[in-house]
């Protein structure tokens, strides 16, 4: 079972949105970057993903979600009313994919980016590197453990 990290703007889809509908999968749509999309396609049912809040006041890892449906064509790319509409995406070979995720856990305390940067075990994680824009990235087993450990340490 692989581990991942996905970025979201909490105003659009926060850990609280997940937590408030624990039985209802959330459609993870709107990824419009090829590298991120390729990682999306590698996700499998049962995989876990950290939910990272970006472009907001409290930047950092807020909790965990679980993938419940593997990649399928993102409906938003064909919806003209969606901000994620992509008129250049071929209908017979859609460019962008979505996955479905369900709530896993909300951390007692959000782990701020500042703090993540101080953890040696995370030095190779693209997230903590300057200028990084990758919105879906793999997390190694050791990185995952290091983060979960810090999340649990303050409970």
Site residues for DNA per CB under 7 A: 7, 32-35, 54-55, 59, 88, 113-114, 129-135
Using an 8 Å Cβ cutoff, are 68 and 101 in contact?
yes
Of 67, 63, 76, whose CA–CA distance to 16 is shortest?
Answer: 63
DSSP 64-99: EEEEEEEEEE-GGGG-TTSTT--TTS-TTS-S-EEE
Minimum Å gap between C-beta 145 and DNA is 22
User: Cβ closer to DNA: 1 or 85?
Assistant: 85
Which is closer to DNA, CB of 68 or CB of 73?
73
How many other CB atoms are there within 10 angstroms of residue 66's CB atom? 18
* Nearest to 117, CA basis, from 147, 144, 148: 147
With respect to DNA, which residue has the nearer C-beta, 5 or 64? 5
Separation between Cα atoms, residue 103 and residue 93, nearest integer Å: 30
Report, in Å, the least distance between residue 114 CB and DNA.
Answer: 6
CB of 108 to DNA, least distance (A): 21
Nearer to DNA, 22 or 131 (CB): 131
Q: How far is the CB of 22 from DNA (least distance, A)?
A: 26
């Amino acid at each position: 079972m692989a581990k991942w990290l996905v970025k979201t703007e909490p105003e659009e889809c926060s850990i609280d949105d997940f937590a408030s509908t624990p039985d209802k999968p959330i459609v993870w749509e709107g990824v419009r970057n090829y590298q991120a999309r390729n990682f999306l396609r590698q996700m499998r049912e049962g995989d876990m993903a950290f939910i990272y809040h970006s472009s907001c006041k409290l930047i950092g890892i807020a909790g965990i979600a679980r993938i419940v449906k593997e990649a399928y064509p993102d409906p938003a790319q064909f919806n003209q009313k969606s901000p994620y509409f992509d008129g250049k995406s071929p209908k017979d070979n859609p460019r962008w994919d979505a996955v479905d995720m369900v709530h896993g856990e909300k951390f007692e305390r959000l782990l701020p980016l500042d703090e993540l940067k101080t953890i040696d075990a995370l030095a190779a994680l693209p997230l903590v590197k300057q200028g990084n824009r990758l919105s879906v990235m793999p997390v190694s087993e050791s990185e995952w453990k290091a983060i979960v450990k810090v999340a649990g340490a303050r409970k």
